[in-house]
């Protein structure tokens, strides 16, 4: 049975989102197959995110972008999170399109991702047409300003589009669950699982090397092997997302939401600012813990493959083949990380019960995150100490790949980080939902408020991590150390200050698993 929401407002009626929530409570949940279909959109979204995490930082440096400027390229993600998620969430709750409240935003986001994906894929070819000089194989590090500009533009559009996609997808899952706790838990477990699937596929594509050979036309005079690999990966990403979303738009139908809004009602951003002013203590503490948590995570997301290429594999020059090998090994590490994260997400309920609650679990894994980020320093130092060299062309010394022990230690680090990552993607959002429900706030607005604690630290780290690393010689390690300290602070705050959820709703987020 398809969910139907119909509401109208007047001076004496509650806001539209409250009416919609009341209507949802009376609906029948959708079949599991439809919930699974919508959850599968996460795989298409995360495939693209995984490519960004594994390929874009190294790729823009290969094009000639200095290391210290890479962090500024990642500035868009936080900006788009602040601007897009609140507005899309607010207006999708009130969308009266005949296609339903969520699907128009999902379709628009997919079209934007498609455009941006092809812009990144063909950036070198378009850049050459606009005036960038051709470069020979092995000289890709020469600065190509037009190509760099197109990649950055595509990256920014994808970030805006993904933020347009994610919120309505999660909201549609909640609509389909229709307030049924078992179906809601199953829906978000499936969404998390498909996120892991997308991450695994994207990381595998980014780490494979030579993927361009399946599409020979991707290699051109302006786009050699590394560039052609990026092109192929993003074309596959776009195709996967378009297919999944098209199937969903045809298969999962929504009924029209009829909401009449008075002119005096606040807009999305104004309502968001109003919500910030009226936050209760539990939500304020949650935002603080989340803020430090994401200060910790962002350096790893931004530089993890570059760390493998430079510190672990010794590729100081971005054009060295050993650097490229290290980047691909880092992408493999992210694939392992995603596999562990997917498995851990299905056991969150068991872990929470074993450690005495959600806030204790979050605190413990934040300490684990702190240890892992700190361990990048000894792994890097040992790799440097044990590094061997071979005589290359022209008599120069070329670093050889690290020993098996160093490589195993680095990949183990990626794997272990999958555990705190799964918790980070689940518990803060569940707690935000619970605290906001107790305070009488809307779900979409509460997640938008929590998103501020995610994106503002990213903006901060994007602005300072490049110059901070340069201050200490251009290594990635200073930012990782800052992240380690932030993770430890987040763990302490979670255990000592963060309130536990009320007993009557606590079971709703600790049950976990499929039903």
Identical fold at 1-22+37-265 and 273-515? yes
Tallying the residues shown for the chain, one arrives at: 515
pLDDT at 479: 84
Q: Which residues make Cβ contacts (< 8 Å) with residue 232, sequence separation at least 6?
A: 121, 211, 212, 214, 215, 218
pLDDT at 278: 62
DSSP state of 217: G
Q: Decide if pLDDT at 431 tops 50.
A: yes
pLDDT at 260: 41
Half-sphere exposure of 165 (CA within 13 A, CB side): 28
- Say if CB 222 and CB 128 are below 8 A apart: yes
pLDDT at 226: 77
Better-predicted residue by pLDDT, 372 or 358? 372
pLDDT at 76: 66
pLDDT at 5: 39
The per-residue pLDDT for range 123-133, each reduced to its tens digit, is: 888 888 888 77
Q: Which of 339, 292, 362 is nearest to 509 (CA)?
A: 362
pLDDT at 374: 94
Mean pLDDT of 56-75: 67
pLDDT at 261: 39
Q: Cα(483)–Cα(461) distance, rounded to whole angstroms?
A: 10
Token code pair at residue 60? 């823009």
Please report which confidence band the pLDDT of residue 257 belongs to, taking 50, 70 and 90 as the band edges: low
Token code pair at residue 465? 């991590």
Rg (CA), the chain: 23
Q: Which of 6, 264, 248 is nearest to 105 (CA)?
A: 248
CATH superfamily assigned to domain 273-515: MFS general substrate transporter like domains (1.20.1250.20)
Mean pLDDT of the chain: 76
CB atoms inside a 10 Å sphere around CB 250: 8
Residue with tokens 């994808």: 158
In order of 4, 199, 417, 424, the CA distances from 410 in angstroms are 50, 19, 11, 21
Portion of the chain with pLDDT greater than 70, in percent: 72
Please report which confidence band the pLDDT of residue 3 belongs to, taking 50, 70 and 90 as the band edges: very low
pLDDT at 490: 93
The per-residue pLDDT for range 174-203, each reduced to its tens digit, is: 778 776 656 666 777 777 788 888 888 887
CATH superfamily assigned to domain 1-22+37-265: MFS general substrate transporter like domains (1.20.1250.20)
Buried b (16+ CB within 10 A) or exposed e, 422-434: bbbbbbbbbbbbb
pLDDT at 195: 86
SS3 416: helix
pLDDT at 412: 94
In order of 68, 467, 472, the CA distances from 475 in angstroms are 10, 11, 7
The per-residue pLDDT for range 271-288, each reduced to its tens digit, is: 666 656 667 788 889 999
Q: Decide if pLDDT at 262 tops 60.
A: no
Lowest pLDDT segment from 226-240, 263-277, 322-336, 358-372:
263-277
The backbone torsions φ and ψ at residue 18, rounded to the nearest 5 degrees and listed phi first, read -70, -40
Lowest pLDDT segment from 43-47, 392-396, 419-423:
392-396
The per-residue pLDDT for range 134-179, each reduced to its tens digit, is: 665 555 556 677 888 888 888 888 888 888 888 788 778 777 877 6
| Extents of the domains making up the chain | 1-22+37-265, 273-515
pTM of this structure: 0.71
- Say if CB 156 and CB 76 are below 8 A apart: yes
pLDDT at 299: 84
DSSP state of 220: B
Token code pair at residue 322? 């050993």
To which H or E segment does residue 512 belong? none
Q: Decide if pLDDT at 24 tops 60.
A: no
Token code pair at residue 67? 């290391």
Q: Cα(280)–Cα(220) distance, rounded to whole angstroms?
A: 57
SS3 481: helix
The per-residue pLDDT for range 435-479, each reduced to its tens digit, is: 765 555 555 666 667 777 887 887 777 667 667 666 656 677 888
Q: Which of 452, 445, 433 is nearest to 501 (CA)?
A: 433
Mean pLDDT of 108-134: 86
CB atoms inside a 10 Å sphere around CB 396: 11
Please report which confidence band the pLDDT of residue 414 belongs to, taking 50, 70 and 90 as the band edges: very high
The per-residue pLDDT for range 222-245, each reduced to its tens digit, is: 777 777 888 888 889 999 999 999
CB atoms inside a 10 Å sphere around CB 261: 12
pLDDT at 2: 40
Please report which confidence band the pLDDT of residue 425 belongs to, taking 50, 70 and 90 as the band edges: confident
- Say if CB 19 and CB 12 are below 8 A apart: no
């Amino acid at each position: 049975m398809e969910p139907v929401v119909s509401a109208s407002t007047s001076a004496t009626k509650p806001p539209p989102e409250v009416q919609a929530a009341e209507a949802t409570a009376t609906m029948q949940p959708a079949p599991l197959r439809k919930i699974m279909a919508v959850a599968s959109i996460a795989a298409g979204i995360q495939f693209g995110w995984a490519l960004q995490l594994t390929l874009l930082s190294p790729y823009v440096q290969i094009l000639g972008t200095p290391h210290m400027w890479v962090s500024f390229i990642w500035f868009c993600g936080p900006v788009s999170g602040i601007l897009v998620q609140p507005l899309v969430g607010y207006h999708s709750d009130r969308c009266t399109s005949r296609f339903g409240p969520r699907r128009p935003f999902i379709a628009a986001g997919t079209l934007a991702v498609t455009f941006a994906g092809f812009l990144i894929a063909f950036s070198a070819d378009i850049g050459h047409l606009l005036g960038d000089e051709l470069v020979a194989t092995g000289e890709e590090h020469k600065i190509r300003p037009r190509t760099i500009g197109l990649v950055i533009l595509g990256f920014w559009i994808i970030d805006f589009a993904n933020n347009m996609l994610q919120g309505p997808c999660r909201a549609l899952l909640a609509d389909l669950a229709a307030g049924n706790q078992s179906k809601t838990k199953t829906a978000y477990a499936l969404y998390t699982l498909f996120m892991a699937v997308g991450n695994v596929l994207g990381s595998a594509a980014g780490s494979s090397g030579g993927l361009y050979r399946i599409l020979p036309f991707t290699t051109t005079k302006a786009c050699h092997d590394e560039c052609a690999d990026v092109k192929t990966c993003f074309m596959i990403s776009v195709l996967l997302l378009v297919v999944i979303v098209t199937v969903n738009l045809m298969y999962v139908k929504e009924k029209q939401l009829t909401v009449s809004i008075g002119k005096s009602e606040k807009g999305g951003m104004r309502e968001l600012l109003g919500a910030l002013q009226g936050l209760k203590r539990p939500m304020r503490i949650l935002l603080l813990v989340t803020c430090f948590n994401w200060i910790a995570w962002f350096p790893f997301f931004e530089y993890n493959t570059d760390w493998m290429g430079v510190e672990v594999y010794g590729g100081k020059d971005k054009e060295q083949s050993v650097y490229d090998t290290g980047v691909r090994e880092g992408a493999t590490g992210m694939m392992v990380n995603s596999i562990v994260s997917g498995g851990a997400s299905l056991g969150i309920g068991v872990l929470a019960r074993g450690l005495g609650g959600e806030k204790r679990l979050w605190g413990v894994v934040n300490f684990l995150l702190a240890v892992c980020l700190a361990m990048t320093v000894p792994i890097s130092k040992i790799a440097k100490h044990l590094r061997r060299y071979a005589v290359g062309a022209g008599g120069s010394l070329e670093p050889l790949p690290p020993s098996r022990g160093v490589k195993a230690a680095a990949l183990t680090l990626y794997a272990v980080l999958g555990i705190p990552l799964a918790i980070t993607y689940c518990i803060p959002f569940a707690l935000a939902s619970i605290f906001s429900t107790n305070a009488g706030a809307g779900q979409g607005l509460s997640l938008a408020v929590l998103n501020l604690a995610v994106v503002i630290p990213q903006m901060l780290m994007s602005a300072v991590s490049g110059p901070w690393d340069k201050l200490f010689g251009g290594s990635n390690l200073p930012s990782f150390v800052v992240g380690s300290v932030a993770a430890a602070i987040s763990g302490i705050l979670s255990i000592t200050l963060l309130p536990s959820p009320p007993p009557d709703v606590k079971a709703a987020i600790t049950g976990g698993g499929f039903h």
